[in-house]
Structure 1
Amino acid sequence: MHNTLCCQPVRKLEAYSLQQCQPLNPQHSTYNNISNENGYYCTLESSSLSVGYTSYNTPSTVSFSPNESSLSQQESHSYPADYCFNGPYVTEDVNELKHKLKELETVMLGPDIDFLETCDNVEIDSWRQIMDAIPRGDLKQVLIACAMAVSNNDFLMAQWLMSELRQLVSVSGEPLQRLGAYMLEGLVARLSSSGSYIYKSLKFQEPASFELLSYMHILYEVCPYFKFGYMSANGAIAEAMKDENKVHIIDFQIGQGSQWVPLIQAFAARPGGPPHIRITGIDDFRSAYARGGGLNIVGRRLSKFAEKFRVPFEFHGAAKSGCGVQLENLGIQSGEALAVNFAFMLHHMPDESVSTENHRDRLLRMVKSLNPKVVTLVEQECNTNTAAFYPRFLEVLDYYTAMFESIDVTLGREHKERINVEQHCLARDVVNIIACEERERVERHEPLRKWRSRFEMAGFSPCPLSSLVNATIKTLLKSYCYRYSVEERDGALFLGWLNRDLVASCAWK
């Protein structure tokens, strides 16, 4: 999210022209202009690809062009048949193109003997599975087939499947239909080599700060992801600091500062009185936008709360991204017991697979040099960092299906803000993971086993979590759906939905 994004130019296909596929009716389009009583929220509608399919009229769509600096509204119209799309280069060999068209024709009309004699049996089975999945409306299998086509640079197959997917996805449908809408946009963006451009455009098309904050707050309240992470981290810090008189907490992504409100309250009730607490908050541009101002807003809020509970308190803000943080920004003072919090933050740091600077490991080594009493880590239990595109797509499909299902249970489809919550809090990450690469791909999650290796290489050792905190978290989950679970294993806590781990939390020293 912090990186400068760019769009690489792409070559026109000279062998044939492509119609720009307009979104279908509002029940089947991916990102629509979503209305509410106050007007319209403009949402993503990337330039879709189609071969030989009819263009559809819509009241208003948003188009993306590598030559535009922002999203542009287009009036309702159908594109002529010779409208060319600046798509990725596929082939300039006419014979190869004819062969691909023959394959597509065979799939649609049925194979002939010559085709069967020249095709591999595995490929035939793959075609048959796709053809079986489409009439069944098997969205998951069609998504997977489309991702495979994109991975194999099978341009015609990918475009055909994208046109079929348009009929199956909906931002107001079942959980998989909603997720599929956003994953389809990621596939379209990747195939058109415009992933970075679309992701950048999304950042500049966010709603007003107070609206974005309200969407984040809804997600915070209806799903336990953040509460689980913050509560487990706070418990580890409170346990480590139970006998300290001066506590310094460095939060590498402080956001609204909400995590520290219950901890300040807990310290206020500590036998013998509260310690002196100092918090250093590292800023994040997205959080700054959502709260409508700088870190001084967080400082004032926490100071007022600490004063109410008579807790000695100081706040120090460092308005820098994680990549830019240096020792001098942290305000280290002697005589303080240090706690460092990495909550949903480290996966944004580029590692050795992206940059020789490797900020991910640099931050861990820097923190270790400060000799902290405890370091807390909270991350999504997802493996998208170094995985190649196709397995990464499958991981995103599995992980976010569980997440969208969990949202569906606690945030009904009649809720007027549900689409906005999913779009502005989750969809952009999905598009980034699927469509972008190298520095432009900033959502780079790792499972706990990989984080454990990084912490151990930096010199850390595991710090057991409090059994009291674990019990408190399990009590918290009773107010949510029974399908959520909390499991303690290998010195860490995992929040899961059915059989899928969603968030992992652990502590180090």
Structure 2
Amino acid sequence: IQGDPPQRLAAYLVEGLAARIASSGRGLYKALKCKEPPTSDRLSAMQILFEVCPCFKFGFMAANYAIAEAFKDEERVHIIDFDINQGSQYITLIQTLASRPSKPPRLRITGVDDPESVQRSVGGLRIIGMRLEKLAEELEVPFEFRAIAAKTADVTPSMLDCQPGEAIIVNFAFQLHHMPDESVSTVNQRDQLLRMVKGLGPKLVTVVEQDVNANTAPFFPRFVEVYNYYSAVFESLDATLPRESADRMNVERQCLARDIVNIVACEGTERIERYEAAGKVEARMTMAGFLSSPFSAHVNETIR
């Protein structure tokens, strides 16, 4: 697909509408899933998206600064991540810890290796963990990585192996919207997960999500929300990657198109991409027992 950002987005929206009419959205969504292996010498389409698109990069950056600030005066830190993706967020975090004049805390990261994740077919989180361990060793940051082979909804506190004396930090980066909520099932896995995390007694929970109502909104308002949000994403790609770039085409086709098609074409349990507006996410967190914590002046100044 070629053209300027509005033309490229329109093409994928049309693809979603066609799939909706043909009731083939779920199959097309699966076919478009990112399959690139997380290797050190060739970034996957997903990692490229996270690194070049400001919409995503800013979210990871803000979460990292908040996490790093929570490390202060802690000797042992345990980060639990339910969707670690390519692990690039923690590459930056480990580098930040190593650059500090003070001795870094002992860092333990637990990642959930969901069988439906894009990493499982190419070695799961084992490869990502090895890459992080190698980096931490080179930078002399005490580090341990472990992966839990389970669906997110099946994770229990005992599986996370939280230990006395360690500060627990839970990171939800573009993950919560994949959990079915009360609009999909009475089980409401989204709120169940938040309540389980609250029971761990974390020092900090970071949430990075798209501020879009693509969950409970009827079809037409949802379509408009998707158009407005992805217009900004496609415009930002136009400023960072050439239109003829193979990387850009790969990012659009394998990462953005699949989400657009799923939101536009699918309903019920087949709609996996269920973004929520910030106010709704905040309400869920409050109902689960969390208190909102604004960024400190230092973090605000750093990310500007």
> TM-score with structure 1 length normalisation?
0.56
**Deviation, structure 1 residue 316:** 1.3
Instruction: Name 1:96's counterpart in structure 2.
Output: none
- Are 1:436 and 2:266 an aligned pair? yes
Question: How big is the shift at 1:335?
Answer: 1.2
- Per the TM alignment, residue 468 of structure 1 is displaced from its structure 2 partner at its CA by 2.3
Q: Does the alignment pair 1:331 with 2:161?
A: yes
Residue 321 of structure 1 deviates from its aligned partner by 2.7
Quick one: distance in 1 between partners of 2:244 and 2:133?
39
Query: What is the SS of the residue equivalent to 2:259?
Result: helix
Equivalent residue for 2:109? 279
Q: Deviation at 1:410?
A: 1.9
The answer as to 2:97 corresponding to 1:267 is yes
Distance 1:183 1:208 in 2: 24
Deviation at 1:198, TM superposition (A): 2.6
Shift of 1:472: 2.4
Aligned partners of 1:327 and 1:350: how far apart in 2? 20
Measured in 1, the distance between the counterparts of 2:285 and 2:169 equals 15
Partner SS state of residue 209, structure 2: strand
In the TM superposition, residue 344 of structure 1 has moved relative to its aligned partner by 0.6
Q: Does 2:28 match 1:209?
A: no
SS in 1 for 2:246: coil
Cα distance, 1:417–1:294 mapped onto 2, change above 3 Å:
closer
Identify the residue that residue 463 of structure 1 maps to in structure 2: 293
The question of whether the paired residues in 1 share the 8 Å contact of 2:104 and 2:141 is answered with: yes
1:379 corresponds in structure 2 to 209
Distance 1:326 1:393 in 2: 36
Q: Look up the SS of the partner of 1:259 in the other structure.
A: helix
When residues 287 and 456 of structure 1 are mapped into structure 2, their CA distance, relative to the original with a 3 A threshold, is same
* CA deviation profile, 1:374-432 (whole Å, cap 9, x unmatched): 00000011110011111111111111112112211221223233222211110010000
| RMSD, matched Cα | 1.9
Which runs of 5 or more structure 2 residues have no equivalent in the other structure? Answer: none
Which residue in 1 is equivalent to 2:226? Answer: 396
Answer yes or no: is the 8 Å Cα contact 1:256–1:287 preserved in 2. no
SS at match of 1:260: helix
Determine whether 1:357 maps to 2:192: no
After superposition, where does 1:208-357 map in structure 2 within 5 Å?
A: 209=37, 213-284=43-114, 285-288=116-119, 292-357=122-187
> Does 1 or 2 have the higher relative contact order (CA < 8 Å, sep 6+)?
2
Query: In the alignment, what sits opposite 1:417?
Result: 247
Match of 1:178 in 2: 8
Shift of 1:310: 1.5
Is the 8 Å Cα contact of residues 255 and 283 (structure 1) preserved in structure 2?
no
Tell me the matched-pair count. Answer: 301
Contact 2:53/2:233 (<8 A) preserved: no
Q: Deviations over 1:113-165 (max 9, x none)?
A: xxxxxxxxxxxxxxxxxxxxxxxxxxxxxxxxxxxxxxxxxxxxxxxxxxxxx
Identity of aligned residues (%): 58
Q: CA deviation digits over 1:35-62, x for unaligned, max 9?
A: xxxxxxxxxxxxxxxxxxxxxxxxxxxx
Q: 1:237 to 1:381 in 2, by over 3 A?
A: same
Is the Cα contact below 8 Å between 1:209 and 1:289 reproduced in 2? no
Q: Which has the larger radius of gyration?
A: 1
Give the C-alpha shift of residue 210 in structure 1: 6.4
Deviation at 1:193, TM superposition (A): 2.1
Q: Is 1:187 the equivalent of 2:14?
A: no
Q: 1:207 & 1:325 partners in 2: Cα distance?
A: 25
Task: Decide which moves more: 218-227 or 326-335.
Answer: 218-227
CA contact (8 A) 2:16 2:264 kept: yes
Judge conservation of contact 2:212–2:229 (CA < 8 Å) in 1.
yes
Q: Which amino acid is 2:81 matched to?
A: D
Q: Is the aligned partner of 1:452 residue 2:272?
A: no
How many Å separate the matches in 1 of 2:43 and 2:159?
27
Q: Is the 8 A contact 2:169 2:205 kept in 1?
A: yes
Alpha-carbon distance in 2 for matches of 1:346, 1:269: 31
Q: What is the letter of the counterpart of residue 61 of structure 2?
A: M
**Cα distance between partner residues in 2 of 1:444 and 1:421:** 20
C-alpha distance in structure 1 between counterparts of 2:146 and 2:246, whole Å = 38
Please, what TM-score do these two structures have when normalized by structure 2? 0.92
Is the 1:235–1:466 contact (alpha carbons within 8 Å) kept by the matching residues of 2?
no
In structure 1, how many angstroms separate the alpha carbons of the residues matched to 2:96 and 2:38?
A: 29
Deviations 1:444-499 (A, max 9, x none): 0001110100000011101221322222222xxxxxxxxxxxxxxxxxxxxxxxxx
